[in-house]
Amino acid sequence: MYRSFLIKYAEIAIKGKNRYLFEDALVGQIIHALKKVDGKFRVRKEQGRIYVDTEGEYDYDEVVGALKCVFGIVGICPVVLIEDEGFDRLVEEVLSYVDKVYPDKHFTFKVNARRARKNYPMESMEINAKLGEKILEAFPETRVDVHHPDVVFNVEIRNQINIYSVIVPGPGGMPVGTNGKAMLLLSGGIDSPVAGYMIAKRGVAIDATYFHAPPYTSERAKQKVVDLAKIVARYSGPINLHIVNFTDIQLYIYEQCPHEELTIIMRRYMMKLAEHFAKENKCLGLITGESIGQVASQTMQSLAATNEVCTIPVYRPLIGFDKQEIVEVSEKIGAYETSILPYEDCCTIFVAKHPVTKPSLNVIHNDEKKLEEKIDALMQEAIDTTEVIRIEG
């Protein structure tokens, strides 16, 4: 029954001259998201509002599902738009709306009228009272409750009159593309897809790097990462996923360095390589799924050692999260089921029984000297053989 959707966005974030940038980015993201949905849609900006108009048949759940992935949207309101043809006509339309949308009339309501166009002959309070009366008359099972109504009938007098009462929550955040791009270190675990989602939510476009260690890690492990990238891309838009063959570097570190430092040294090389691809792709930072104290490589000392090799900012949106809190977001975004599939990760293949939890930078620097002979060539080879897959959400 709906021909249009009214898109609500948080206006506080976009005061002043940035407003149109935000709105244009949001329109662009909505158009992109609806490309995946069957049907004909038009997205338009009007008087500080964004509307999606539909033409012909479409699947309501698919449209709402696609819009729920667009950052910047706080509410999706299926709306009835009518021309202003006098108050009696408005009453008819509102009653027909109430009847269709609420087959069961046992609810409390209030009418919330707003005049964006002040030349309308009635004031908001008067519209509220009159429409309320008409609804009560037509549907005697309903009751008015102005404080805690089950349903709020919004009637907004604009160029057209907007009638809506359903507001499906959107994901919030900022439209992707309003805040540059960052490189996500994406593993097959629970944390990194959530970290990517959280930074994308702030308007940041995402590319990703995955460190693959064949034959120690399988094609299925790689496919799992591709699948996770697809899930993140539903929200972030297209991701260029870099798949780096990390095996020779790992083996070399394993041969040359003390095993309790393996993970830290390996993570330092991961950061260096990710930063290389970040710079190549105009990314302004790195993103990881690290959280303080979660494992030995994520103590404050370990994070400092990992961070030391980076020359661009490293964003760690999960830094203060407990595992349970991360799992909740993972489930919400639909990544959890994929993340828990039991495929091996390159980090778990060469782990020491007793990894250092308080690495000393002096010791690490000294041990890394043992890599001098071949590491540059191995890094270059890893870069040269990296496969890039474009992932669409």
Contact with ligand ATP (CB under 6 A) among 33, 131, 161, 186: 186
Q: Cβ-closest residue to ligand ATP? A: 189
Which of 54, 154, 247, 288 contacts ligand ATP by CB under 6 A?
288
Start-end of H helices in the chain: 19-34, 60-67, 87-101, 124-138, 191-200, 219-236, 247-256, 262-280, 300-307, 323-332, 336-339, 361-368, 375-384
Binding at 288: pick from Mg ion, ligand ATP, none (beta carbon under 5-8 Å per type): ligand ATP
Which of the stretches 54-62, 114-122, 185-193, 254-262 binds ligand ATP when contact is defined by CB under 6 A? 185-193
Q: Using CA atoms, how far apart are residues 258 and 273, in angstroms rounded to an integer? A: 22
To ligand ATP, the closest distance from the beta carbon of 296 in angstroms equals: 9
Neighbours of 303 (CB within 10 A): 21
DSSP annotation string for 193-222: HHHHHHHHTBT-EEEEEEEE-TTTS-HHHH
The interface region with ligand ATP, picked from 21-29, 104-112, 343-351, 380-388 by CB under 6 A, is 343-351
Sign of the dihedral defined by the CA atoms of residues 268, 280, 175, 38, in that order: negative
Q: How many residues belong to the site for ligand ATP (CB under 6 A)?
A: 20
Question: Between 206 and 225, how does the x/- string for binding to ligand ATP read (CB under 6 A)?
Answer: ---xxx--------------
Q: Which residues from 36-65 bind Mg ion, rule CB under 5 A?
A: none
Is 134 or 222 the residue whose CB approaches ligand ATP more closely?
Answer: 222
Q: Name which of ligand ATP, Mg ion, none residue 386 binds, using a CB cut-off of 5 to 8 Å depending on partner kind.
A: none
Q: Cα 122 from chain centroid?
A: 42
* Binding flag, residue 312, ligand ATP (CB under 6 A): no
Q: For residues 208 and 270, give the distance between their C-alpha atoms in angstroms, rounded to a whole number.
A: 12
Site for Mg ion in 176-205 (CB under 5 A): 187, 189
The Cα–Cα gap between 388 and 145 comes to 58
Near Mg ion by CB under 5 A, which window of 280-288, 305-313, 339-347, 385-393? 339-347
Nearer to Mg ion, 188 or 359 (CB): 188
- Confirm or reject binding of residue 345 to ligand ATP (CB under 6 A): yes
Distances in Å between the Cα of 89 and the Cα atoms of 9, 78, 95, 128 are 30, 20, 10, 15
Closest CA to 309 of 276, 342, 347, 346: 276
Q: Is 346 in the site for ligand ATP (CB under 6 A)?
A: yes
Which DSSP string do the residues of 316-327 spell out, in sequence order? -TTTT--HHHHH
Which one among 290, 305, 314, 364 touches ligand ATP, defined by CB under 6 A? 290
Among the listed residues 171, 175, 203, 289, the single contact to ligand ATP using CB under 6 A: 289
- Find the part of the chain contacting ligand ATP (CB under 6 A) among 40-48, 141-149, 158-166, 204-212: 204-212
Nearer to ligand ATP, 186 or 382 (CB): 186
Nearest Cα neighbor of 71 from 16, 126, 13 is 13
190 touches ligand ATP by CB under 6 A? yes
Least Å from the CB of residue 274 to ligand ATP: 7
Distance CA 87, CA 383 (A): 69
Q: Is 187 in the site for ligand ATP (CB under 6 A)?
A: yes
Nearer residue to ligand ATP within complex by CB, 187 or 247: 187
Q: Is 347 in the site for ligand ATP (CB under 6 A)?
A: yes
The C-alpha atoms of residue 137 and residue 373 are separated, in whole angstroms, by 87
Of the candidate residues 297, 333, 364, 379, the single one contacting ligand ATP (CB under 6 A): 297
- Count of beta carbons in the 10 Å neighbourhood of residue 193: 30
Q: Are 145 and 109 in contact (CB under 8 A)?
A: yes
How many C-beta neighbours within 10 Å does residue 325 have? Answer: 13
Chain positions contacting ligand ATP, by CB under 6 A: 185-187, 189-192, 209-211, 288-290, 294-295, 297-298, 345-347
Residues near Mg ion, by CB under 5 A = 187, 189, 345
